[in-house]
């Protein structure tokens, strides 16, 4: 599978970009994070083929991000994004699936667990916000970003622990996607505007809500994450009734890239046997 395999389908009135490896196996939905130039492919392209040996892998671009349609008059919020995901699943006749959510994508996964639990088998959360925490430099930089190759590289260097993972191709691909009309507007609807006077707080799902997530959940977090702090991983695992936490050393916000082999083994062992 490569980027030219991108398809489109209508969901919640949005032309929705996605990848689908096909097959009759258990469905594994991969949801990307936020950030300028983000898309399903930039988040999951390096692991999609590996996971496809065990699952039918489906990778949508969340409404307003990547190559999925953005509409100025749409009130994007967590309920809309969950409804869009359910509509997307319906369009592909996916009754239920396991879900791997990266950062913001994890928040959408939590929303699915809370609002439509019958559609979710198992949940994997990577670097996912939870509770309330001070806005990090990485999240502030994502809001302040203005499209250019130089600005994209500077922002990307905040994400992995090992910055050698940031290739010229990655910078170019993310920059080109970030320069699409409406892309940065959609992102700024998601993130709080950085305050010029004191601390800016970021709010994920509160502890009270997390206690109602009944799906078996695996929380994966990089110890050196400068975008979503490790404390969020602890908040998730300590409040989700069936939540386990795995912390990766020498790892930032890109668990699936920085610790690819461990990530693949953990996800396959955990989600194997999920139904669709």
**How confident is residue 246, by pLDDT bands cut at 50, 70 and 90?**
very high
Work out the pLDDT band at 269, boundaries 50, 70, 90: very high
C-alpha to C-alpha distances, 105 to 70, 82, 163, 188, nearest whole angstrom: 17, 10, 23, 16
User: What torsion, rounded to 10 degrees, do the Cα atoms 123, 233, 156, 201 define?
Assistant: 120
Collapsed DSSP state (helix, strand, coil) of residue 113: helix
Residue 273 has pLDDT above 80, yes or no: no
* More confident position, 34 or 251: 251
Percent of the chain with pLDDT over 90: 81
Q: Does domain 3-131+203-271 have CATH number 3.40.50.1820?
A: yes
155-158-263 Cα angle (round to 5): 120
Of the pLDDT bands very low, low, confident and very high (cuts 50, 70, 90), residue 223 is very high
Query: Of 14-18, 183-187, 220-224, 264-268, which gets the smallest average pLDDT?
Result: 183-187
Q: What is the SS3 assignment for 150?
A: helix
Residues labelled catalytic: 103, 225, 253
Q: How many other CB atoms are found less than 10 A from the CB of residue 255? A: 24
137-140: long-range contacts at Cβ-Cβ below 8 A with a sequence spacing of 24 or more?
A: 137/226, 138/226, 138/227, 138/228, 138/253, 139/191, 139/202, 139/227, 139/228, 140/194, 140/200
For range 120-149, the mean pLDDT: 96
Q: Quote the percentage of the chain above a pLDDT of 70.
A: 99
Q: State yes or no: pLDDT of 239 exceeds 80.
A: yes
Question: What pTM did the predictor assign?
Answer: 0.94
Sign of CA dihedral 41, 45, 49, 55: negative
Please tell me the predicted confidence (pLDDT) of residue 275. Answer: 38
Task: Give the chain's mean pLDDT.
Answer: 93
Q: At how many degrees (to 10) do helices 137-144 and 149-156 cross?
A: 160
Q: Give 168-221 pLDDT, tens digit per residue.
A: 999 998 999 898 877 888 788 778 899 988 899 999 999 999 999 999 999 999
Q: Is residue 260's pLDDT more than 50?
A: yes
* Spans of all domains in the chain: 3-131+203-271
Q: Report whether 179 contacts 171 (CB < 8 A).
A: no
Task: Kindly report, residue by residue over 46-101, the tens digit of the pLDDT.
Answer: 999 999 999 999 999 999 888 999 888 888 899 999 999 999 999 999 999 999 99
Instruction: Give the Cα-Cα-Cα angle 54, 57, 61 (nearest 5 degrees).
Output: 160
Distance CA 228, CA 160 (A): 12
> What mean pLDDT do residues 35-51 have?
93
Distance of alpha carbon 86 from alpha carbon 94, whole angstroms: 9
pLDDT score of 185: 80
């Amino acid at each position: 599978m490569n980027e030219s395999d991108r398809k489109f389908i209508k969901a919640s009135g949005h032309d929705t970009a996605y990848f689908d490896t096909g097959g009759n196996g258990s469905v594994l939905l991969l949801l990307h994070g936020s950030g300028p130039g983000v898309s399903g492919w930039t988040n999951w392209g390096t692991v999609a083929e590996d996971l496809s040996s065990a699952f039918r892998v489906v990778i949508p671009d969340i409404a307003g991000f990547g190559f999925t349609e953005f509409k100025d008059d749409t009130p994007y919020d967590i309920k809309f994004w969950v409804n869009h995901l359910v509509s997307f699943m319906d369009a592909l006749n996916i009754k239920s699936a396991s879900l791997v959510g990266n950062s913001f994508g994890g928040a959408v996964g939590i929303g699915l667990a809370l609002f439509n639990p019958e559609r979710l088998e198992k949940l994997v959360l990577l670097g996912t916000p939870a509770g309330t925490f001070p806005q990090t430099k990485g999240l502030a930089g994502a809001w302040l970003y203005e499209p250019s190759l130089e600005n994209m590289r500077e922002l990307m260097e905040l994400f992995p622990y090992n910055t050698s993972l940031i290739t010229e191709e990655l910078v170019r691909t993310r920059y080109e996607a970030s320069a699409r009309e409406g892309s940065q507007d959609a992102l700024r609807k998601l993130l709080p505007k950085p305050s010029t006077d004191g601390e800016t707080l970021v709010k994920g799902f509160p502890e009270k809500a997390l206690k109602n997530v009944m799906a078996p959940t695996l929380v994966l977090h990089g110890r050196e994450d400068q975008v979503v702090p490790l404390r969020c991983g602890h908040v998730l695992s300590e409040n989700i009734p069936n939540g386990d936490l795995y912390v990766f050393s020498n790892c930032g916000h890109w668990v699936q890239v920085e610790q690819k082999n461990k990530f693949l083994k953990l996800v396959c062992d955990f989600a194997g046997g999920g139904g669709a």
